[in-house]
Structures are given as structure tokens and as C-alpha cells.
Amino acid sequence: MNAFIINHLLWFKAFHVIFMVAWFAGIFYLPRLFVNHAETTSREVAEHLKGMERRLLYFITPFAILTVLLGLVLIYAYGYSWFVSAKWLHIKLTLVILLLSYHGYCFKLVKTFQQDKNTRSGKFYRIFNEIPVLALFAVIILVYVKPS
């Protein structure tokens, strides 16, 4: 195992969590912008929301990438045998892959709104907004409780 990583493991963990929190702050807020965008009848408001959606998505994307990269560093630091035996981590990684897919789908939604082609209601985006909330609850429970 790399001595540098081991000596700085707590720093890697701290920044993993910091970047995750920053990512989730944005991934919670972006669908709320979609709700407002889907429900507005004002062209001026819609144009303003287009800019906010695009800027927010591009702002939080590096946080998602850094969260994943630091998570991989942590897995590497703990080693292969730990990875194989940590069944909770496999579930967490599945949820992270789903969250990354969700994040990627947000790019499609931003483009749809940019082109004024949205056909979904505010209610759809309210439900869509709950997906990362539920995923976060599950990830936190998995990380801290580590159910077997």
C-alpha cells in the first residue's frame, strides 16, 4: 500500500465527504430549478432559469468527479481483500453509479430546457428531485452502519 495515501488517509476521507456534500447541494437544487422552469409562463424567467441550470450543472460536475476519484483512492488504500469483503461498499458503489447516471441525465434535461422542448410537468421534477435524497440516505446508512 502506498505510504503517502496511508499517512494522509483521513485527509482523503475528509475531502471525499466535502466534495460529496458540495455535489449533493447542487444535485438537490438543480431539479428545483427544473420545477420552476417547467411551471413558469414567463419567457424572461425561463431564460434566467436556463442560465442558472447550465451554470449550476457545470459548477457541480467537478465535485462529482472529485468525489468519485477520492472514493477510488480510499478503496485502493484499504486494499483488495477489504474491497471484496465489504459487501456494503458494493451496494454503495451501485448507488453511486446510479447517481452518476442521474447526474448525466441532468445534462440531457438542461439541454431539453435550453431548446424549449420540455414536455414534463413540475410534478415530474418534484418526484425526480427525491431520487438523490433517497440515495443519500441509503449511502450514509451503508457507510456508517455497514450492514452485513
* DSSP assignments along 9-67, one per residue: HHHHHHHHHHHHHHHHHHHHHHHHHHHHHHH---HHHHHHHHHHHHHHHHHHHHHHHHH
The pLDDT of 80-85, averaged and rounded, is 95
Predicted pLDDT of residue 34: 98
Predicted pLDDT of residue 50: 98
Is pLDDT above 80 for 3?
A: no
Is pLDDT above 90 for 148?
A: no
111, 50 Cβ separation under 8 angstroms: no
Each residue's pLDDT tens digit, 63-72: 999 999 999 9
The pLDDT of 44-61, averaged and rounded, is 98
* Alpha carbons 34 and 60: distance in angstroms, whole number: 16
* Alpha carbons 142 and 132: distance in angstroms, whole number: 15
> In 3D, which of 132, 105, 129 has the Cα closest to residue 23?
132
Tell me how many domains the chain contains.
Answer: 1
Task: Decide: helix, strand or coil at residue 104.
Answer: helix
Each residue's pLDDT tens digit, 13-44: 999 999 999 999 999 999 999 999 999 999 99
State the pLDDT confidence band at 1, using cuts at 50, 70 and 90: low
Domain that holds residue 24: 3-145
